[in-house]
Structure 1
Amino acid sequence: MSNKRLERILDISPELKTILLSTDSLENKKDYIRGYLSQMLISAFEDDRQLPPLEWILVTDAVKTFKSLISARSERLSGFSFLGYLDDLIHRPEQVKPKPQKGFYAEVEALFRGVAGKAGIYKEKAPSFIKYSGERAAKLRSADLSRMAAKAEEFMEHYPCGLDEDAVRRRYRNKQRILEYFNATGFEWDDWKWHVKHIIRDEKILGDLVQLTDEEKQAIALARERRIPFGITPYYASLMDEKEDRKRDYAVRAQVIPPLNYIEKLWEARQRSEASMDFMLENDTSPIEGITRRYPMIVILKPILTCPQICVYCQRNWEIEDVYSQTAALSQKKLERAIQWIADTPEIREVLVTGGDPFLLSNSRIENLLFRLSSIKHIERIRIGTRTPVTLPQRITESLARDIGHFHEPGKREITVITHFEHPYEITPNAMEAVQKIRRLGMSVKNQMVFTTFNSRKFEAAVLRHKLSLIGVSPYYTFNTKGKEETEDYRVPLARLLQERAEEARLMPGTVRTDGVVFNVPGLGKNDITAMQHHSVLSILPNGRRVYEFHPWEKKLSLADTYVYTDVSIYDYLQKLKAWGENLNDYKTIWYYY
């Protein structure tokens, strides 16, 4: 075998090496490996003192994953034989296609280390407080906790917040520059309709307001040419730094300026008229136009399918024609039919009004819609999904808050606003005031965050939850990025989200760390992903991507199919972070989150 890296990997586990280098049949090798893995599992649970403390947990997780990788069921569901590929790589390397990428080797090495109890994660000495008891132990433990908190603070200080004094000053200058460009007044700036009227839709105007890179200009121009929705409110443009260095506003720009890869992939999919454009299979879960139902007691009502601002990775990008689409709003007749369907379905207790952004509708239409829904006796809760507190906080006027607030009746009916802050740099005094207008009337505001490349660095999501809690927004859900081809640049390995929740969120106060961590399964709905009982690894592909099987939320309630998903490569993701200046040692445990 001339593959030096593979040789080094095999040397990690002499037992596995002996099996894999043998000339036995693949089925025999499977049996031998299963026997070895079972023995390692027994050894770990029988308290093998040769394993460092806690290393046994990594062994058990790695063993379970390895067993899954070589099962016939996993091979069938993933369409790939991990062990067969590895065997060919060892004995018939010239025949192997496709060739393994660095991510594959990295995954195999981590797996072998995990199984062999050689992950090397726990290198520090055991904490000193475990040798003592009482006050002495408590003081030592407190000192350790202080060190952990200080380390977390070091990371958190890297991420700018829109409430920082320098950010407020910077945005004020941006606002003045934008007003001058449009020959507008401060009074107009405070009018949400002015912003809607002046939505920025091409690279020329945006380029006059902030410096754009050549790639950003090209992507925006191509989006307009190919009729891919693009739009930024003047307010949100003021959150972008004037310079193009992306040192602070990287997440803001990434929200709305599409990468070239996104444009190309979305265009190709549209040309093929693929059904997969409907990634969440809403066509298969819509019993009537305007309604989506994935749960027994909840429905989604979509009165409008456009927004004042288009987010790049929106799950409904396939439905949005244009910011100013004349057909975006559901006709009154269709809306009446949708509301009547809800009235005729007594099992429904909750309605999520979303779109698009329902706050793009007039106050009177919103109030009438809520009146109709509130008149249905079995509706106890109405959620309103809107990103206007982030992209257009001027829309949250006192009158709008009152119009929705008088349908909020404690003990009878709850009105909740669900919004989408994605980075602390989006939190501004304007956004904070918009939230307070809603909260002062007794309604809650909750946040759904999408975990993307641009908010996934160490403690970055923790900072967002921390700052949101301070302005009165409760962390609600953190979503794993949708697995769509066109959003490849935004997708983060599932293991990173699991790592964030276990290692970073756990250090935060309870109200800051607690939200639901979910994968939104197409056609089925939200799946909890905090434990291996909700998902399993089926395979590791030659390109280093893991293939997962997600178990539906109703798996112990009724018969339902599972969902197979191919993740992005952990190795490739880490290389992105490295290019941004991150120390990859800070992420070394990521490989052991399955």
Structure 2
Amino acid sequence: MEEKFTSVLFLSLSESWRSILRSGDDIHKIRENLLNHINERHFITYSDKDSDMHDLDLIIIRDCARVLRGILNPRSEKLAGFSVLAELINAAAGKTDPSLSEAFWAELCHLVRGIEGQFRFHENTEFSFADTGDLKGRDAAQSRSLELDLIHKHVENKMSLYRCGLDNQFIELRDTNKKMILAGMGAETRNWTDWHWHLQKIARDEKSLSDYAFLTEKEKENIKRANSLGIPFGVTPYYASLFERSGNGEDRALRAQVLFPENYINSFQNGCGEDNINDFMLETDTSPTDLITRRYPDIVILKAYNSCPQICVYCQRNWEIKGPLEPGAMADKDQLVAAIRWIEEHEAISEVLVTGGDPLVLSDSKIRDILQKLSAIDHIKRIRIGTRTLVTLPMRFTDALCDILASFRIPGRRELSVITHIQHPLEVTPEFVKAAEKLKSRGISIYNQLVFTFYISRRFEAARLRSLIKLCGVDPYYSFYPKGKSETADYRIPIARILQEHKEESRLMPGLARTDEPVYNVPGLGKNHLNAWQNRDLISIGKDGARVYEFHPWEKKIADQKIYIGTDMPILDYLERLENIGESAEEYESIWYYF
């Protein structure tokens, strides 16, 4: 990105804006005049007079009008605790606040360009199919078919940039890694298929993980610091075998799952490890009894086991989990009995998500016992198992375990399904496919909840993942915006990017391969579906360039409930990060106009 976004550039974009801001009127009059100008620009897009703009570009003017009205609203300023308008007036008077970031001015520049129609997105698109001339019938259909072939080729070319764990090259690499790990531990090939062995050999520090996989010096240093601060850390031998041994960045997404960035460690060191800070989802406020979380009428979470064989850095429950397979992670027997009794006493509950932690590290007998108790409750119609062992420990899915799970599904009466997080095509391996097929062949549905982090956010990267897992029998379910926790800032993306991906990439795929919904999990309230404008309002731009949103509760128009004010990731910062890993920011230019 060569353009430098400043107050000077902003003031140069529109004579109308410049004259209003420099009028010398008080802030109330300036606000009124700006809103009048914005409304006029909005009204023009509905004019029956000929326009030199593409119809679809006129829609962008309307979108910007709505956003600017929200930002200039006094109520928005009160909710955000910041007045964008006051800063613009100061800048117009030559008193620009030096603490306003370039990302702040980038947002304002794009909004003014948007409302003033200073762009031509739909005159310079990669494809231009609107004008088919006088073609009709079969001729028009054949022409359109050729156009669709071009789109398909574009999508395939983009998705082919991302290799997966089923590529022969990676199968061979990981077989080599597996043999190296086994040889280094004096183990035999049969140990590799024994999930108990993997649990016994979890890497818990930089030395043990270095025995399994290549680590850079910075990665080693960060693991040492994390260990010294008591930050939970663990990687299974299987998952370590997925790492490359060259450190060239191809496996960036896999390493990011388990290796802490410096910001994460610094946040914990500075006190963010306290429960009241890190309980981002306010689970303590939505737990009516021990081990239960309830945010919706019909479904509850049952936290049966409070640890995992491998700790995901972005985990929303990192404030609860102390380490991999931590002693005492199993729910207290009396508490578990009481929690299940609570479910039995609340007939509104028809669905239970058994999670933690990862409950599938429990023994077969304990899993059977929990499922038997839940299945004995007449009003339970669906049981979900939340687990990431499909990608961290696929050998856990023995025939015995899969038979146990399948025994609790009764077609037409009770469903049992598995919910997982598959985060990258490189996690889809032959072992994963085998485990998934064992479940599917027994009638057990598998759903993927993708956490849409920076590491899966390049153009068509998530589309490649969706297409791949669907072929393995896994249905895309949700695309989660990463939790807005300070320690996981390196994993966040702008909301605009997940919307852009859903519209410009996911939408180009067949419907069955793009069934996931982009959502933002509102603390204490639950999922906010991002596809719909009516679920949120953009109310401000922070000094750092982050958009500030007013999220509406899912109960809106149903029950009285509070709103939630959430802060986004600055778009300019995100684009600069993409460029740092070799992407072109120009390919993402339309991101500024997703709100």
Q: TM-score, normalised by structure 1?
A: 0.97
Structure 1: distance between partners of 2:384 and 2:219: 35
Residue 309 (structure 1) aligns with: 310
Offset of residue 462 of structure 1:
0.3
Measure how far apart 1:131 and its partner are.
Answer: 4.6
Give 1:405's aligned residue: 406
Partner of 1:381: 382
Q: In 2, are the aligned partners of 1:210 and 1:244 still within 8 Å (CA)?
A: no
Aligned to 1:137: 140
Contact kept? 2:552, 2:563, Cα under 8 Å: yes
Choose which of 251, 254, 267 in structure 2 pairs with 1:252: 254
Is 2:458 the partner of 1:457?
yes
Match of 2:90 among 88, 91, 112: 88
User: In the TM superposition, what is the alpha-carbon distance from 1:301 to its structure 2 partner?
Assistant: 0.1
Gaps of 5+ in 2: none
- Conserved? CA contact 1:121–1:588, under 8 Å: no
Query: Quick one: which amino acid aligns to residue 203 of structure 1?
Result: E
Match of 2:233 among 217, 230, 237: 230
Whichever residue aligns with residue 231 of structure 1, its letter is G
Give per-residue Cα distances to partners, 1:425-483, cap 9 Å, x unaligned.
Answer: 00000001101111111110110100001000000000000000011111011100110
Q: Which string of whole-angstrom CA distances, capped at 9 and with x for unpartnered residues, describes residues 493-538 of structure 1?
A: 0000000001001100111122121101110111100121111111
> What is the identity, as a one-letter code, of the residue corresponding to 1:322?
G
The alpha-carbon deviation at position 168 of structure 1 amounts to 0.6
Match of 1:101 in 2: 101
Q: Secondary structure at the match of 1:93?
A: coil
Q: Is the 8 A contact 1:77 1:564 kept in 2?
A: yes
Alignment length (residue pairs): 588
Contact 2:293 2:302 in 1 (8 A): yes
Alignment partner of 2:121: what SS?
coil
Runs of 4 or more, structure 1, over 6 Å off, are: none
Aligned to 2:572: 571
- 1:50 Cα deviation from its structure 2 partner: 3.5
How far apart, CA to CA, are the structure 1 residues paired with 2:593 and 2:454?
20
Question: How far apart, CA to CA, are the structure 2 residues paired with 1:592 and 1:89?
Answer: 24
Look up the equivalent residue of 2:220 and give its one-letter code. K
Q: Distance in 1 between matches of 2:560 and 2:133?
A: 48
Q: State which drifts further: 342-351 or 257-266.
A: 257-266
1:181: Cα distance to partner? 1.1
State the match for 2:157 in structure 1: 154
Q: Deviation digits for residues 21-79 of structure 1, max 9, x if unmatched?
A: 21111110100011111111111122452332211110010000000001011101111
In angstroms, what is the RMSD of aligned CA positions?
A: 1.4
* Partner-residue secondary structure (3-state), 1:122: helix
The verdict on how the C-alpha distance between 1:130 and 1:447 changes in structure 2, with shifts beyond 3 A counting, is farther
User: SS in structure 1 opposite 2:257?
Assistant: helix
2:214 maps to: 211
By how many angstroms is 1:269 displaced? 2.8
Aligned equivalents of 2:340, 2:347: Cα separation in 1: 12
Distance in 2 of aligned mates of 1:309 and 1:558? 40
Q: What does 1:153-552 align with in structure 2 at a 5 Å threshold?
A: 153-246=156-249, 248-270=250-272, 273=274, 275-552=276-553
Structure 1 position 593, deviation (Å): 0.3
Secondary structure (helix, strand or coil) at the match of 2:403 reads helix
**Deviations 1:384-420, CA, capped at 9 Å, x for gaps:** 0000000000101100001111100010000000011
Q: 1:289 to 1:189 in 2, by over 3 A?
A: same
Q: Which moved more, 1:48-57 or 1:319-328?
A: 48-57
On the 8 A contact 1:549/1:564 being kept in 2, the answer is yes
Q: 1:483 is matched by which residue type in structure 2? A: G
Q: Matches of 2:48 and 2:453 in 1, distance apart?
A: 39
Q: Which moved more, 1:40-49 or 1:525-534?
A: 40-49
CA contact (8 A) 2:350 2:379 kept: yes
Tell me, in whole angstroms, the C-alpha distance in 2 between the residues paired with 1:373 and 1:8.
62
Cα distance in 2 for residues equivalent to 1:201 and 1:461: 30
- The secondary structure found in structure 1 opposite 2:338 is helix
Residue 497 of structure 1 aligns to a residue whose secondary structure is helix
* Equivalent position of 1:51 in the other structure: 53
CA–CA separation in structure 2 for the residues paired with 1:274 and 1:443: 36
Letter in 1 for 2:198: H
What is the one-letter code of the residue matched to 1:440? S
Describe the SS at the equivalent of 1:354: strand
* Cα offset, 1:4, TM superposition: 9.2
Structure 2 CA distance for aligned equivalents of residues 47 and 521 of structure 1: 42
Q: Tell me if the contact between 2:6 and 2:102 (Cα under 8 Å) persists in the aligned partners.
A: no
Corresponding residue for 2:118? 118
Task: Look up the SS of the partner of 2:40 in the other structure.
Answer: helix
SS at match of 2:442: coil
| Partner SS state of residue 45, structure 2 | helix
The DSSP-based 3-state class of the residue aligned with 2:100 is coil
Shift of the alpha carbon at 1:268? 2.0
Instruction: Give per-residue Cα distances to partners, 1:309-332, cap 9 Å, x unaligned.
Output: 000010000000111321211111
For residue 478 of structure 2, give the secondary structure of its aligned residue in structure 1: strand
Aligned counterparts of 2:105 and 2:272: Cα–Cα separation in 1: 35
**1:428, 1:245 → 2: CA distance?**
20
Match of 2:24 in 1: 23
State yes or no: 1:71 paired with 2:55.
no
Q: Is the contact made by 1:351 and 1:381 (CA closer than 8 Å) also made in structure 2?
A: yes
Q: Cα distance 1:567–1:130, how it changes in 2: closer, same or farther (>3 A)?
A: farther
d(CA) in 2 for partners of 1:31, 1:395: 64
Q: What is the identity, as a one-letter code, of the residue corresponding to 1:339?
A: I
Shift of 1:126: 5.9
Shift of 1:266: 2.1
TM-score normalised per structure 2: 0.97
- Mapped to 2, the partners of 1:130 and 1:220 lie a distance apart of 63
Report the more deviating stretch, 173-182 or 208-217: 208-217
Taking only the aligned residue pairs, the percentage that are identical comes to 45
Q: Provide the rounded CA distance (Å) in 1 between the counterparts of 2:18 and 2:428.
A: 53
Aligned counterparts of 1:12 and 1:29: Cα–Cα separation in 2: 18
CA displacement at 1:17 relative to structure 2: 1.8
1:277-305 Cα offsets, whole Å, 9 max, x none, are 10000000001110000001110000111
On the 8 A contact 2:54/2:123 being kept in 1, the answer is no
Post-superposition shift, 1:150?
1.3
Deviation at 1:87, TM superposition (A): 1.1
Question: Which residue number corresponds to residue 554 of structure 2?
Answer: 553
Distance 1:287 1:208, change over 3 A: same
CA contact (8 A) 2:547 2:570 kept: yes
8 Å contact from structure 2 (residues 103, 544) kept in 1: yes
Q: Which whole-Å CA distance do the structure 2 matches of 1:131 and 1:118 have between them? A: 32
Code of the aligned partner of 1:17: R
Matched to 1:215, the amino acid is K
Give the secondary structure class of the aligned counterpart of 1:309.
coil
Counterpart CA distance in 2 for 1:92 and 1:9 is 12
- In the alignment, what sits opposite 1:61? 63
Whole-angstrom CA distance in 1 between matches of 2:465 and 2:57: 32
* Shift of residue 92, structure 1, vs aligned partner: 4.4
Distance 1:153 1:266 in 2: 42
